[in-house]
Amino acid sequence: PPPTQSARYHSGSGKMPGSYKVCVVGGAGGIGQPLSMLMASHPDVAELCVYDLTVSMVPAEGVAADLSHLNTKCKVKGYAFEVADKAVEKAGECLTGCHLVLVPAGMPRKPGMDRKDLLKVNADIAKNIVEACAKYCPDAVVALIVNPVNSVVPAMCELWKKKGLNPKNIVGVTTLDILRANKFVHEITGAPVEEIEIPIIGGHAGSTILPLFSQDKAGATIPAEQIPDLDKRVQDAGTEVVQKKAGKGSATLSMAFAGARLGRAVLAGLSGAEATECAYVESTITDIPYFATKVTFGPEGVQTVHPIGALSAHEQARLDEMMPTLKEEVQAGLDYAASNEFAF
């Protein structure tokens, strides 16, 4: 008999392009719906699972039914779980055989909530999902879009490592920072946007977002006196969107577009065509164990974590200035991992 689809996925190292299973956790949410649409229209995605809670604004099954009418080959299925459900007990069918799990999940920061409160809530949400991935799809790349990313990614990666699994599978999605920087440089310089690629290093919040304009041909032409304001605009771009949406939402569409770009790079790597994007991963590039730089994705997830490269005086000063903040935020994630375990 012909091999089953899942047997074909895992037979040897030659994972077949064109037959990937992807899950979007939080797939019925503001980021999750457009992200699910973009992944369902990817020519190499054969199966998409839309995973969400029964309390979501739109039922996951409804989003899946809607996407199942796109005239692409992708088969789409929705899964809804109760808030109290443990994914490690309930999400087996959804997650088994996944190659990529994208996680735009978690609560937004509420007024009066400090970062520590947000970390506790969202790390628990992420842990529920990531421990289920460790059980049902331990070879999948898990791409986390859960704030605060600077702390949640180290927390989940350390828990993943405690299970003896490969830390190269856990990735923090910082791609939106790069898209914003690229677009802003295009608007200032008029250079073709598809030729602009501003690396962004450090982390994914506030001052830890460090765009390296000097490392891009167009970016390097911007007068030095304009760089500090442009740097700040990239850091604060999310607030621009929140203000324009007048408290009725945040950067969901651009975040979905960014998540899909990172997802495409991961799938390209899995199929043997290496792809490079900036991402926040376990790293030995600096003395902080988690750091965002350019990352090349290959057949097993993160293949190469690239060095920072040459910096301008402004960039070096910014790096020195933000390192203590990033170190503290990473440490908060390590502390969470030290006092928690996966539930299996």
Which residues have C-beta within 8 Å of that of residue 338, sequence separation ≥ 6?
158
**pLDDT per residue as tens digits for the range 178-200:** 999 999 999 999 999 999 999 99
Band of the pLDDT at 247, cuts 50, 70, 90?
Answer: confident
Q: In angstroms, rounded to a whole number, what is the distance separating the alpha carbons of residues 210 and 235?
A: 8
Which residues have C-beta within 8 Å of that of residue 120, sequence separation ≥ 6?
336
Contact 260, 40 (CB under 8 A): no
Q: What is the pLDDT of residue 228?
A: 98
Q: What is the pLDDT of residue 12?
A: 36
Q: In angstroms, rounded to a whole number, what is the distance separating the alpha carbons of residues 5 and 21?
A: 10
Please report, rounded to a whole number, the percentage of residues in the chain having pLDDT higher than 90. 90
DSSP, res 195: G
Q: State both tokens at 45.
A: 């995605």
pTM metric for this prediction: 0.94
Band of the pLDDT at 110, cuts 50, 70, 90?
Answer: confident
The alpha-carbon radius of gyration of the chain (Å, integer) is 19
Q: 3-class DSSP state for residue 201?
A: strand
Helix 313-338, helix 227-244: angle, nearest 10: 50
Which residues have C-beta within 8 Å of that of residue 303, sequence separation ≥ 6?
168, 269, 274, 295, 296, 297
**301, β-bridge pairs:** 298
Q: Say if residue 304 is exposed, middle or buried (CB neighbours under 10 Å; 0-12, 13-18, 19+).
A: exposed
**pLDDT per residue as tens digits for the range 209-246:** 999 999 999 999 999 999 999 999 999 999 999 999 99
Which residues have C-beta within 8 Å of that of residue 229, sequence separation ≥ 6?
none
φ and ψ at 38, to 5 degrees? Answer: -65, -40
Contact 153, 147 (CB under 8 A): no
Instruction: Choose the catalytic residue: 42, 69, 204, 314.
Output: 204
Residue 9 has pLDDT above 50, yes or no: no
Q: In angstroms, rounded to a whole number, what is the distance separating the alpha carbons of residues 325 and 152?
A: 15
Contact 172, 258 (CB under 8 A): no
**pLDDT per residue as tens digits for the range 253-286:** 999 999 999 999 999 999 999 999 999 999 999 9
- 204 labelled catalytic: yes
Q: What's the average model confidence in pLDDT over 288-317?
A: 97
User: Judging by DSSP bridges, how do beta strands 75-81 and 100-103 pair with one another?
Assistant: unpaired
Q: In angstroms, rounded to a whole number, what is the distance separating the alpha carbons of residues 32 and 37?
A: 8
Query: Contacts from 239-246 at CB under 8 Å and sequence distance 24+?
Result: none
